[in-house]
Amino acid sequence: MPRGERPLDPGDGPLLRFAADLRRLRAAAGGPSYRAMAGRAHYSSSTLSDAAGGRRLPGLDVTLAYVRACGGDEPEWRLRWEGLSVDLAEARVGPDEPQDGTGAAYPGPAAYRAQDAERFSGREAVVQRLLSRLALRRVVALLGASGEGKTSVLCAGLVPASKHGRWCSVLTPGTDPVGRLAARLAEVTGRGPDELAARLVADRRALHRIARAALADEPDDVDLLLVVDQFEDLFTLCRDGGRAAAFVDLLLVAATATGSRVRVVLGVRADFHAHCARFPGLVEAVDAGRVPLGAMAPEEFRRAVTRPAQSAGCAVEADLLVRLAVDAAGRPGVLPLVSHALLETWRRRRGNALTLAGYQAAGGICGVLAQRAEAVYREMSGQRRELARQVLLRLASSGGMTEDIGHPTRPGPLNEVVAALIGARVLTATENGTALAHEGLLRAWPRLREWLDQDGAGVRTQRQLTDAAQLWRSLDRDPGALYRTSRLATAVAWVARADPVLTAVEREFLRQSTTAEAAARRAAARNRRYRQVLAAAVAALLLVVVLVAARVVQQDLEHDQARSLPGVVCVPGCGGGVLP
């Protein structure tokens, strides 16, 4: 007879309630033994028993295996597990480990800052390229996809390594780039921000003159280094085109003027490179000083994962390092998710070791991504929630990426939703389009899974439409590749029912297909009418021919009869008449 289960510790915390509910689920299933459950769940009986022990949160995979062995509702328990994981992470804050992660070895979804330089690693080669390029040029641009770590490279890599010391200043343009610039200049020069802002607005050479005056007593090789991170704010947040142009003009004039004491480094998201053409001279400056930021090499990734833990006197388990490398391989913009997962693993560390078990208990990259997706979704209003659902379904049905679903640079609810999802790292934007940050979101986020299950036919229609539109475009918009008849009717009916988010190519494909189908129907109707008229004409002609033939035959018969009568002479030209 199996021994009884250890009673739960007294208390009424969320973890104990979770464990108690797992036990109730097992009881409702008839109280199977843990050995029997192990045979169904493919986990050891001790692992399943610990899951309902109430001492720590089991991993998501173990929880779902427990639920599956008891015949429970896996999506419901996945949601419960994710909510409890977030609650426990927020509650697990000691005096030396504040909630914002400042006491942890990893910054989570936030970027590394200058004070994190000692634990920032993996991007040494890029930092060195920036320094080398900066020694030759006064305008340098770091271009990379969303989530590749541009802010960390600039703030925790370039700034601490720069020789310009206290004359380094990092700013983001925000909604008022000139005002932000004045505030940063006030910090390094000691002058009033209002006075500086007035000068910057009034004189396009003001930045050049302010820098020369401020560095008059400094060595010639020391300049004012302005690091403008998130340069794309000029296109997404700053709605005053005049202020944005004035800001760019101040930077370029100061960096290119004779006797310049200003150097500028721009952090630009790769998909906004083309937008730089809005400002004269900017694209040329960016391209001439361009430093690309790509994915980390395996050794760089290893250092980026292990060095922060080592700086805090901890170690990363080898199995965890391998799992992280597999989960992150080949996925653009995944670094913030890796850092977030490592922060949650850090909070679940065992002694001085970050373990694979802790990573799994945190839900891994997919788990933290699902939590972030759920959080940003819940923060949205009703209309934006619907748009977010459509965007995510559209990406899920297109294989995770699309070239055109929204424009974060333009106002409007759809574009604001896309920008919010990119900002939360649920989506990532590259030069090739917008994509899910990780395809594991399709499995890890119950809400998205539920959406996909509820409209499987719509998802298939969307995927077929995407493929057909891309094929049509690749064939130079060949009319022969357009939708016809039943496929067009299915797609049009789905669009009318679901009102989905479509790309510009898909919308044009459907429009051209509808136009071509209408033209084909009109042509078919004309052909039918022509055939009907032709058939009527032929019938009339045949009738005339028949009547004429009948008359001729009748005349011939009459003629023959007359010739056979004695004493009757046929007179030609008398209509068959005879003379006695």
**Residue 453 CB contacts under 8 Å (≥ 6 apart), including other chains:** none
The pLDDT score that the predictor gives to residue 408 is: 58
Query: 439-478 burial, b for 16+ CB within 10 Å, e for fewer?
Result: bbbbebbbbbbebbeebeebbebbebbbebbbebbeeeee
Task: State phi, psi for 264 to the nearest 5 degrees.
Answer: -125, 130
What's the pLDDT score for residue 85?
67
Tell me whether residue 367 is exposed, middle or buried, using C-beta atoms within 10 angstroms of its C-beta: 0 to 12, 13 to 18, 19 or more.
Answer: buried
Query: 25-61: string of b/e by CB count within 10 Å (b at 16+)?
Result: bbeeeeebebeebbeebebebebbebbbbbeebbbbe
pLDDT at residue number 15: 82
Q: Say what the pLDDT of residue 309 is.
A: 93
Which positions ≥6 away from 243 have C-beta within 8 Å? 176, 177, 178
Nearest-angstrom CA–CA distance, 117 and 99: 21
10-residue mean pLDDT profile of the chain (580 residues): values are: 61 81 92 88 81 80 88 85 66 43 77 90 95 94 90 94 90 92 92 92 94 91 93 86 93 94 94 88 92 93 94 92 90 85 88 88 83 86 86 73 57 78 80 74 81 78 80 84 86 82 82 86 85 88 88 82 64 51
The answer to whether 137 touches 252, Cβ cutoff 8 Å, is no
Give the C-alpha separation, 368 to 338, whole Å.
Answer: 9
**Cα 422 to Cα 500: distance, rounded to the nearest angstrom:** 19
- pLDDT value at position 99? 43
